[in-house]
């Protein structure tokens, strides 16, 4: 067996080009790959040809693709699939299965086994293009889209389970009760053993490999080996290897591999399978198509396409009626679920390989996949417009609750607090920063640490059940990507994105594309607000709404009155985020942040002490002992101790460990026995004070005297002094201050975090 490299090159090239073109047109790449195989392969032009080597590559690609599908399916999401989605999947599978089975067996004279394969292929639902179509039609927040997504998830799994049974029966070759019972027992035994190994042995093995830190390559090799073991086990019990690969994917999930490793390995599997080997499978599948069916079996081909389409829609409607949502909505859902694709081609290819169907029947199934998938955008668009004209296009968000805030910085936390205080449903923050998440939890807010661009992190935070998703990071690109994932993957009905002024055009395009709104009602300098909050210079207050008004109008009016940031609207017993799509009603109360000048910001205990403490202007140069004596003279009356003792204690403390915090700044201190003592003396010595073990002279000294019960105030004072000293140009301003009161003002007017709580008037 020799691999024709030129032929492989051409196969991959045409697969890539055809996939790109069909994807741009809104269809799955698999259709382009199939058409490329038909047009450029033996069925039409004959430029490409198959071969044993290509067949092997295609088979490996098929196994890896099924592994990837298994890793993508979340068993928890299957359990949470909506009732409507379950009914739509069952009805949409069973009805075309039965209709096409009878047409194949009694209309075309095929064997019952061939009819079963045709029925299974007709019942499959492929929603590969669901995100693109639903976004283009602005359907992501409708009940139609929600049911279609849930139905696709159930249908994918259901079709593979039925496929396992079909393969088992096909291996027997006849419908004898004893033989079928044996096949069923083997299948049940295989699934039981696979589940046991997958929940016990596989996790143990993969964790040991991960702990050994063998690297991504070794883990990928282990992943492939486990897949091949499962595939071979399935083959040994009379099932097809792709069932084993699919099961391996179900068990090789995030819980086994870990979130980051799982994401990396899934990326590798995706690239190797869908990017390299699977296109070989679909192009070569097109080689097996015969165009003679348009002359010899055109009535049967049209019959299969017609019954598959009608059966999908009618079956969906019939089962969906049990939800009470009406036949028209069920009909539109059936139109959206009518497309076939990769799974159908896989089933048809396996049936052809086993000799259960002819090349003509295989060709008809391929053309059925192409025709039904091409119909979906057209029929779904018509159906949606029909529902919209009748006022029956129901938004799915009505049964969702909760708010997911992406970002847990100061602004995001204050926004979440405003929502929680107003009675909003569950509010959860997501941030990759451990410090931000810890700060949120300290404020008794629910928070999840992780990358918000990872779908699993958003799922853990409750995106699948959230009504609102708020992107509040300072990175406009991250905000846009989060908004897209929230809409397209989790179907979140209300997405609100922070508007960063620098990206106005991109923001407008994003809002139009996703139907999102602008968080806070307008462009916001979020980093500046974060700084104001950290400096305790943003006060929270309430603005009463007295007349009907748009949120954007109020946002601009508030900016004319000063610097304001509207956070949330308290409406009755609940609260909603403030965004550009809101219409405010009389009786609403808008929670806003109002920026205040530094001089008006809250004072803390350090400010209180700094306002009255002695400030010394010392001539120098001098030694530490000289500094201690000057400071002791100012501290002694407050402490009730002799100045000599105070100076001695201060020098002794310096011998134990240096109190020089930064070059040029020191915080000499001492402990006293009198409870409630917290005293400060500030000293400047332009010529410098020589401290032991430090070459650079100290020009700013903050001498502290505290008792043990004031230790927390001592620590706060140290933090305040450090914050003051890190102000821009502090050393220059310190040295140039004209006198003692100017030095005091330098401390009091410094922008830093104050510990005193901000006034709240709501």
Question: How far is 64 from 242, CA to CA, in rounded Å?
Answer: 9
- Banded model confidence at residue 160, pLDDT cuts 50, 70, 90: low
pLDDT of 129:
46
Q: Is the model's pLDDT at 634 over the cut of 60?
A: yes
Mean pLDDT of 715-733: 84
Q: Bigger pLDDT: 563 or 753?
A: 563
Residues contacting 654, CB < 8 A, separation 6+: 624, 668, 691, 692
Q: Bigger pLDDT: 214 or 531?
A: 531
Q: Comparing C-alpha atoms, which of 71, 16, 74, 77 is closest to residue 264? A: 71
pLDDT of 601:
52
pLDDT of 628:
94
Q: Hey, what are 701's tokens?
A: 């000294």
Q: What is the largest CA-CA distance in the chain?
A: 116
Q: Hey, what are 38's tokens?
A: 């038909």
Residue-wise pLDDT tens digits, 229-248: 998 888 887 777 877 888 88
Mean pLDDT of 155-178: 64
Q: Hey, what are 702's tokens?
A: 């903050």
Q: Comparing C-alpha atoms, which of 102, 105, 155, 106 is closest to residue 128? A: 155
Which residues sit opposite 497 in a β-bridge? 471, 518
For 42, list phi and psi in degrees, rounded to 5.
-55, -30
Residue-wise pLDDT tens digits, 68-97: 877 776 655 555 556 777 888 889 888 999
- Banded model confidence at residue 318, pLDDT cuts 50, 70, 90: very high
Mean pLDDT of 421-429: 90
Sort strands 622-623 and 678-690 into parallel, antiparallel or unpaired. Answer: parallel
Q: Hey, what are 419's tokens?
A: 């929502």
Of the ranges 33-42, 109-118, 526-535, the best mean pLDDT one: 33-42
Residue 491 backbone zone (phi > 0: left; psi -120 to 50: alpha; other: beta): left
Taking CA atoms, 377 is separated from 297, 369, 427, in Å, by 27, 14, 36
pLDDT of 463:
86
Q: Is the model's pLDDT at 361 over the cut of 60?
A: yes
**Angle value at C-alpha 420, between 416 and 423, nearest 5 degrees:** 145
Residue pair 406/482 in contact by the 8 Å Cβ criterion: yes
Taking CA atoms, 137 is separated from 131, 456, 488, 519, in Å, by 10, 26, 12, 23
Of the ranges 62-66, 208-212, 473-477, 632-636, the best mean pLDDT one: 632-636
Q: Which of 224-228, 267-271, 496-500, 627-631 has the lowest mean pLDDT?
A: 267-271
CA 591 to chain centroid, in Å, comes to 28
Q: Comparing C-alpha atoms, which of 699, 590, 681 is closest to residue 636? A: 681
pLDDT of 698:
92
pLDDT of 632:
94
pLDDT of 541:
85
Mean pLDDT of 406-420: 93
**Angle value at C-alpha 23, between 19 and 27, nearest 5 degrees:** 105
Q: Which domains does the chain have, with CATH numbers?
A: 5-389 (1.20.1530.20), 400-596 (3.40.50.720), 605-748 (3.40.930.10)
Residues contacting 139, CB < 8 A, separation 6+: 133, 145, 384
Residue pair 349/356 in contact by the 8 Å Cβ criterion: no
Residue 533: count of CB within 10 angstroms of its CB: 21
pLDDT of 568:
94
Q: Comparing C-alpha atoms, which of 233, 232, 253, 254 is closest to residue 191? A: 233
Residues contacting 458, CB < 8 A, separation 6+: 404, 430, 452, 482, 485, 486, 489, 490
**Angle value at C-alpha 132, between 127 and 137, nearest 5 degrees:** 105
pLDDT of 703:
94
Q: Is the model's pLDDT at 759 over the cut of 50?
A: no
Residue-wise pLDDT tens digits, 246-271: 888 878 865 566 656 776 777 788 88
pLDDT of 654:
87
Q: Hey, what are 185's tokens?
A: 């027992």
Residue-wise pLDDT tens digits, 188-206: 788 888 888 888 888 888 8
Share the mean pLDDT of the chain. Answer: 82
Q: Is the model's pLDDT at 600 over the cut of 70?
A: no
Q: Which of 136-145, 318-327, 335-344, 714-723 has the lowest mean pLDDT?
A: 136-145
Q: Is the model's pLDDT at 182 over the cut of 70?
A: no
pLDDT of 504:
67
Terminal Cα distance for the chain, rounded: 80
Q: Bigger pLDDT: 428 or 513?
A: 428
Residue-wise pLDDT tens digits, 362-391: 888 888 888 888 888 788 888 888 888 887
Residues contacting 383, CB < 8 A, separation 6+: 331, 332, 335, 336
pLDDT of 179:
56
Residue pair 719/661 in contact by the 8 Å Cβ criterion: no
Of the ranges 33-37, 255-259, 405-409, 531-535, the best mean pLDDT one: 405-409
- Banded model confidence at residue 758, pLDDT cuts 50, 70, 90: very low
pLDDT of 449:
92
Residue-wise pLDDT tens digits, 36-54: 989 998 888 888 888 888 8
Is residue 470 within a helix (H) or strand (E), and if so which, with residue range?
strand 468-471
Q: Is the model's pLDDT at 438 over the cut of 60?
A: yes
């Amino acid at each position: 067996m020799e691999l024709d490299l030129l032929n492989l090159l051409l196969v991959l090239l045409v697969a890539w080009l055809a996939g790109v073109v069909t994807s741009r047109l809104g269809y799955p790449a698999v259709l382009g790959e199939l058409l490329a195989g038909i047009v450029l392969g033996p069925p039409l032009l004959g430029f490409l040809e198959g071969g044993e080597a290509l067949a092997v590559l295609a088979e490996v690609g098929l196994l890896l693709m099924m592994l990837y599908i298994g890793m993508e399916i979340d068993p928890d999401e299957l359990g949470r699939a909506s009732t409507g989605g379950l009914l739509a999947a069952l009805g949409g599978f069973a009805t075309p299965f039965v209709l096409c089975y009878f047409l194949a067996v009694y209309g075309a004279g095929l064997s019952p086994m061939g009819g079963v394969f045709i029925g299974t292929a007709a019942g499959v639902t492929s929603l590969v293009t669901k995100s693109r179509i639903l976004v283009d039609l602005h359907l992501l927040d409708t009940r139609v889209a929600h049911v279609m997504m849930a139905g696709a998830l159930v249908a994918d799994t259901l079709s593979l389970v039925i496929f396992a049974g079909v393969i088992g029966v096909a291996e027997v070759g006849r419908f004898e009760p004893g033989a079928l019972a044996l096949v069923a027992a083997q299948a049940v035994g295989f699934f039981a053993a696979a589940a046991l190994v997958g929940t016990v042995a596989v996790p143990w093995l993969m964790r040991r490999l991960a702990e050994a830190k063998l690297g991504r390559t070794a883990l990928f090799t282990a992943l492939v080996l486990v897949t091949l073991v499962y595939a071979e086990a399935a083959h040994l019990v009379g099932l097809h290897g792709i069932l084993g690969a699919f099961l391996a994917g179900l068990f090789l999930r995030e819980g086994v591999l870990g979130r980051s490793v799982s994401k990396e390995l899934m990326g590798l599997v995706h690239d190797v399978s869908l990017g390299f080997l699977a296109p070989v499978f679909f192009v070569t599948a097109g080689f097996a198509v015969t165009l003679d069916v348009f002359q010899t079996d055109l009535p049967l081909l049209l019959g299969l396409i017609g019954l598959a389409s009608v059966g999908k829609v009618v079956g969906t409607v019939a089962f969906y009626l049990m939800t009470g949502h009406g036949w028209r909505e069920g009909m539109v859902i059936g139109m959206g679920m009518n497309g076939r694709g990769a799974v159908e081609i896989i089933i048809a290819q396996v049936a052809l390989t086993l000799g259960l169907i002819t090349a003509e029947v295989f060709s008809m199934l391929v053309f059925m996949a192409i025709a039904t998938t091409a119909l979906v955008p057209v029929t779904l668009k018509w159906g949606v417009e029909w529902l919209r004209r009748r006022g029956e296009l129901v938004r799915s968000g009505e049964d969702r609750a909760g708010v997911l805030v992406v970002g847990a910085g100061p602004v995001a936390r204050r926004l979440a607090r405003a929502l929680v205080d107003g009675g909003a449903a569950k509010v959860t923050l997501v941030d990759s920063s451990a410090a931000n998440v810890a700060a949120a939890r300290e404020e008794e807010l629910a928070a999840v640490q992780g990358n918000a661009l990872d779908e699993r992190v958003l799922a853990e935070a409750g995106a699948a059940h959230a009504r609102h998703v708020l992107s509040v990071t300072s990175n406009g690109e991250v905000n846009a990507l989060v908004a897209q994932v929230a809409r397209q993957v989790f179907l979140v009905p209300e997405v609100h994105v922070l508007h960063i002024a620098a990206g106005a055009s991109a923001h407008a395009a994003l809002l139009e594309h996703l139907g999102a709104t602008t968080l806070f009602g307008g462009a916001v300098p979020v980093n500046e607000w974060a700084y104001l909050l950290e400096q305790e210079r943003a006060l929270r207050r309430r603005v009463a709404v007295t007349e009907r008004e748009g949120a954007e109008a109020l946002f601009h009016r508030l900016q004319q009155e000063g610097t304001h940031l509207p956070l949330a609207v308290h409406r009755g017993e609940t609260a909603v985020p403030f965004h550009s799509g809101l219409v405010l009603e009389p009786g609403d109360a808008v929670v806003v942040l109002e920026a205040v000048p530094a001089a008006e910001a809250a004072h803390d205990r350090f400010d209180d002490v700094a306002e009255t403490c002695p400030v010394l202007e010392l001539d120098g140069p001098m030694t530490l002992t000289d500094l201690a004596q000057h400071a002791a003279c100012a501290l002694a009356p407050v402490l009730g101790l002799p100045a000599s003792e105070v100076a001695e204690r201060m020098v002794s403390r310096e011998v134990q460990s240096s109190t020089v915090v930064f070059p040029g700044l020191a915080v000499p201190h001492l402990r006293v026995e009198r409870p409630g003592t917290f005293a400060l003396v500030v000293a400047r010595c332009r010529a410098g004070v020589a401290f032991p073990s430090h070459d650079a002279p100290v020009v700013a000294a903050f001498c502290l005297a505290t008792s043990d019960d004031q230790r927390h105030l001592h620590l706060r004072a140290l933090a305040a002094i450090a914050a003051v000293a890190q102000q821009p140009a502090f050393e220059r301003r310190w040295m140039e201050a004209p006198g003692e009161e100017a030095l005091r003002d330098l401390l009091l007017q410094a922008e830093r975090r104050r510990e005193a709580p901000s006034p709240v008037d709501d």
